[in-house]
Amino acid sequence: MLQIIRRNFALKILALALAIIGWAYFRFASNPLLAARFDQQLSVPIAAIGIRDGYVAHYAEKEAIVNVEPNRGAPPIKPDDIKAVLDLSGKGTGAYNVPVRLVAPSAIIQSLSPGSVTVTVEKIEQKGFPLAVNYVGRSREVVGSMSLMPGAAIVSGPASRISQVTAVRVNVPLSAQATDLDEMVRPIPVDSHGREVGGLQVSPNLVRVQAHFIPGTSSQAR
C-alpha cells in the first residue's frame, strides 16, 4: 500500500494542488460579493455642465479612465454609475484648465486619467449673408432667369467658425438638356477658398431655386 502511495507521488501532489486552485477560482470568482472587492477599470464619457446660455465649450478629451473599488458587499460597478463632469459655471470666453470631477456614490476612486482638461469657451454668434449662386456642371444652355427664395441666410455657431465664413453658397446644377429648374437646395457656408465651414447652423436649411434656361453657345461651372 505504501508503495502505491509513493508511486508518482509528485504528480499526485501537483494534481491535488491544481484541483484545489480550480475549485477556489470557480467558488470565489463566481461570487459577486467577493469578486466586487477587486478594482475595476472603466471608461467614462466626460460631460461639461454649467455652460452659460449663448456659449459653447470645446475640449479634446472625451473620456476618462477610472479605476474604482466598489464598497464592500456592493455589486460590480457599471459605467453608467459614474459621472465625469467639467464644471464651467460662471466661465465666459477664454481657455481654462478644468479639473475632472467624478460622481461615484458607491465606490472608492483609486485613480483617474486625465485629472484635468483644457477647455475653450466661445460665444455663439449669428451673422447674415446674401446667398451666392454657384453653377455646377456644363451645359449648352444659358440661364435666362434665376430666383432664390429667400435670398439670404443666417449662420449661427461658435465665433471662431463664424469668422471663417466669407459667403453662403447655393450650388445650382446645370444640365445638358434645356430644362427649367425648381428645386430645394441646401445653402452651404464657405471660406475664402470655397471650402465648407463645418459646425455651423444655417437658417433656412433649404432654399427654393427656380431657374429658366435658354438656348446659347456654352456655359461652364464657376
Q: What is the dihedral of CA 50, 54, 58, 61, to 10 degrees?
A: 30
Q: Report the side by side order of strands in the sheet with 181-185.
A: 138-149, 207-220, 181-185
Mean pLDDT of 31-50: 72
Residue 188: domain span:
123-220
CA angle, residues 174, 165, 131, in degrees to nearest 5: 40
Whether residues 46 and 96 share a domain: the answer is yes
1 falls within a domain: no
CATH number at residue 85: 2.170.120.30
- For residues 97 and 134, membership in a common domain is answered with no
pLDDT digits (tens, 9 = 90+) for 174-195: 766 667 888 899 999 999 999 9
Domain count, the chain: 2
**Looking at residue 199, which CATH number applies to its domain?**
2.170.120.40
Domain membership of residue 16 (yes or no) is no
Residues 6+ apart with CB under 8 A from 100: 46, 64, 84, 85, 86, 112, 114, 115, 116, 117
> What is the average pLDDT across 159-184?
86
Q: Is residue 8 part of a domain?
A: no
- Quote the mean pLDDT of the chain: 81
At residue 211, the pLDDT reads: 83
pLDDT tens readout for residues 104-150: 766 778 888 999 999 999 999 999 999 999 888 766 567 678 889 99
Q: Is residue 10 part of a domain?
A: no
Identify whether residues 140 and 201 lie together within a single domain.
yes
Looking at residue 181, its pLDDT comes to 82
pLDDT band at 18 (very low <50, low <70, confident <90, very high): low
Is 7 within a domain?
A: no
Residues 81 and 103 reside in one and the same domain = yes
Q: In this structure, is residue 5 part of a structural domain?
A: no
Same domain, 99 and 130: no
User: Does residue 26 lie in a domain region?
Assistant: no
Tell me: do 127 and 191 sit in the same domain: yes
Residues 107 and 61 in one domain: yes
In tens, the pLDDT along 46-87 reads 999 999 999 999 999 999 998 887 767 667 777 787 889 999
Is residue 152 assigned to a domain? yes
